[in-house]
Amino acid sequence: MKEKKSYSLSLANKKDFNNINEWVYQTLRTSIMCGEIRPGVALTIRGLAEKLDVSSMPVREALRRLASESAVDITDSRRVVVPLISPDKFKELFSLRILLETHAAELALPYISGSHIEELKALDEAVDASYSDGNIVSGSLANQAFHRYIYKQNPVQVCMPMIESLWLQLGPFARVALSKIEKYYEYDRHKEAIDAIQQRDAFALRRAIEADIRDGLSVFKNIDKIYQDLKSS
């Protein structure tokens, strides 16, 4: 058996899920989202199965599910790989984030009440706390939790899976790119979003969400150079 680089794969206890395949899926998903699995390296079913101490079956199902969310690529030779996306695609993913998330926020607004706003403030504080700790990964996850909490209030859920897919596609590249950037500041427009919600101002909410996403993109200024470096490595 060959020695392999070990990326920690842990989430919650396997027993907490009624299906093992669901647990495997969630574990791999967060692992990809957080950039623990580097773009380009091939994932093998047996390898993951052994690492997670399950049979190959749940791994296969999880990988196919991730493939249909564009989180992994299945090449012609049937190898599974976390793709390294091009700068063009990266920017397009951000365009779609703006398109879908402003839409989702506006539709969710009528369903957000006082108690939800308290929760949003708490979630926003969690974001700030993570970033001031310098923890990029948990900050990013907390940021997603903030956004998700808004959109989820809409009882008609069609956007959310698509938005999740966008986040998932952006995750790996964003993570490796951020590690190349020596220093950056993480702004967010969560306060403005909360204000807009409290004043029930749909347009202001859209603006806040859009600005928040744009700020997120602006961190990746020299993205083309980063991409070239990553591709050659």
Interface contacts to a second copy, rule CB under 8 A:
21, 60-61, 64-65, 67-70, 86, 88-89, 92-93, 95-96, 99-100, 103, 107, 156, 158-159, 161-162, 165-166, 169
| Alpha carbons 59 and 2: distance in angstroms, whole number | 20
Residue 107 binds which of DNA, a second copy, none (CB < 5-8 A, kind-dependent): a second copy
Of the pair 2, 5, the CB lying nearest DNA is at: 2
DSSP 8-state secondary structure symbol assigned to residue 18: S
Chain residues that interact with DNA, rule: CB under 7 A:
1-2, 19-22, 42-47, 54-58, 60-61, 74-75, 77-80
Q: Which residues contact 132 (CB under 8 A, 6 or more apart)?
A: none
Residue 2 binds which of a second copy, DNA, none (CB < 5-8 A, kind-dependent): DNA
Residue 52 binds which of a second copy, DNA, none (CB < 5-8 A, kind-dependent): none
Angle, CA of 209, 230 and 178, to the nearest 5°: 35
Which two structure tokens, joined as six digits, stand for 115? 């108690």
Distance set, CA 2 to CA 21, 42, 47, 56, 124 (Å): 26, 15, 11, 18, 44
User: Which candidate, 89, 64, 58, 65, places its Cα nearest to that of 78?
Assistant: 64
| Alpha carbons 105 and 206: distance in angstroms, whole number | 7
Of the pair 60, 116, the CB lying nearest a second copy is at: 60
Residue 80 binds which of DNA, a second copy, none (CB < 5-8 A, kind-dependent): DNA
Shortest distance, position 27 Cβ to DNA, whole Å: 13
Of the pair 1, 156, the CB lying nearest DNA is at: 1
C-beta separation of 210 from 202 below 8 A: no
- β partners of residue 43: 80
Of the pair 131, 220, the CB lying nearest a second copy is at: 220
Residue 70 binds which of a second copy, DNA, none (CB < 5-8 A, kind-dependent): a second copy
Shortest distance, position 7 Cβ to DNA, whole Å: 15
Shortest distance, position 156 Cβ to a second copy, whole Å: 5
Rg (C-alpha) for the chain, rounded Å, is: 19
| Alpha carbons 67 and 122: distance in angstroms, whole number | 34
Of the pair 69, 188, the CB lying nearest a second copy is at: 69
Which two structure tokens, joined as six digits, stand for 51? 């690492």
Of the pair 9, 107, the CB lying nearest a second copy is at: 107
